[in-house]
Amino acid sequence: MLTTREPAVLVLEDGRTFTGRAYGHRGTTVGEAVFSTGMTGYQETLTDPSYHRQVVVMTAPHVGNTGWNDEDDESSRIWVAGYVVRDPSIRPSNWRSQRSLEDELDAQGVVGICDLDTRALTRHLRERGAMRVGIFSGEAAAAPRERLLTTVIDAPPMAGASLAEEVATSEAYVVPAVGERRFTVAAVDLGIKSMTPRMMAERGIEVHVLPATTGIEDIRALSPDGVFLSNGPGDPSTAERQAELVRGVLADRTPYFGICFGNQILGRALGFGTYKLKYGHRGINQPVMDRTTGKVEVTAHNHGFAVDAPLDRDSDTPFGRVRVSHVCLNDDVVEGLECLDVPAFSVQYHPEAAAGPHDASYLFDRFVQLMEGRGA
């Protein structure tokens, strides 16, 4: 475990600066500063491809106490651009731990910072909004602040970023159904987490995971019972290729289920706009109401963009009527869409929720029911 704590500095694009100590890999990194309110599940957060090009600030004060193992990764690598914690664990203490969190960050080249006031940093991001940030440690931390700020400002913003193809698989692969195969689903990978096809497989679904560049003719050639679009990073306004794919799926009346990025893409395919949230929703404790049942769920989120759709009425679209099915109780942000005249729905959060909570896992069953209805 790395024990030497050289000085490090975090510089926001508005000039606010926080000093701390090096954590993980030493060097320089830039990205969008966002905060996550999860109290646990940091390994799943770090390996979620939706965090590509983002520097994650943990609001939980003590991080790393359960170490790192080789079973809980949500993808093949850590995707965050940088990591910010207040008090790193001195040593891991968990029977499943195989090495420390800091050793894994260092091995994968993830630059972090610790021993700074993450509460003050989080309050600043809530007030000013998510913004570009740089972490500088080792020799880089000694550079003049003006030079560091220039490095941050020169980094590309998240608005307008097309990132899904950077994190998605380049080759199609199959996750077989557990037990008897009941359905075949084409899952377009925009940054898919490993738990997602696993939860579908547990319901008798053979999942064909396809690249982000997949077109409607590729889907039709597979003749799936349903189509799924995953979570992923970037600005949904750049995902016109995927929105056109979803329009083809809706026109074919193939059952559709989307989560996170897949929800935003469904919204754009239906003609709704999307917009960037001030600081987004990230964590595993966000309250959402399912307006179909009136049930309130505690859910896992990771999104900085949202669909702009009316909450007070159904909308007429080229594919029939659509209503907002889920809404965040903190700020009334649209958290789900339901098509009333074609078999399609989506949610903005993570029903697979590795590390929990599991309130929304029933949505995979709803997808199964949609496919069952198609064959009726």
Amino acid at 111: V
Phi-psi region for residue 207, left (φ > 0), alpha (ψ -120 to 50) or beta?
beta
Q: Is 350 an annotated catalytic residue?
A: yes
Contacts of 62 (CB under 8 A, 6+ apart): 86, 87, 89
Tokens, residue 268: 């754009």
Q: Which helix (H) or strand (E) holds 374?
A: helix 362-375
Interatomic CA distance for residues 362 and 13, integer angstroms: 41
- Give the count of alpha carbons within 13 A of 122, CB side only: 19
Interatomic CA distance for residues 160 and 285, integer angstroms: 28
Q: How many angstroms separate the Cα of 125 from the Cα of each of 35, 133, 178, 217, 278?
A: 8, 11, 44, 43, 9
Query: Which residue has 């949202």 as its token pair?
Result: 306
Count of H-run helices and E-run strands, the chain:
10, 20
Interatomic CA distance for residues 165 and 150, integer angstroms: 28
- Give the count of alpha carbons within 13 A of 3, CB side only: 3
Q: What are 35's strand-pairing partners? A: 57
Measure the CA dihedral 107/110/116/119, to 10°. Answer: -120
Q: Is 281 an annotated catalytic residue?
A: no
Interatomic CA distance for residues 325 and 150, integer angstroms: 43
Active-site position among 13, 32, 335, 352: 352
Measure the CA dihedral 250/186/180/71, to 10°. Answer: -130
Tokens, residue 116: 């700074």
Interatomic CA distance for residues 234 and 262, integer angstroms: 12
Active-site position among 114, 260, 328, 339: 260
Q: Is 260 an annotated catalytic residue?
A: yes
Report the catalytic residues. Answer: 260, 350, 352
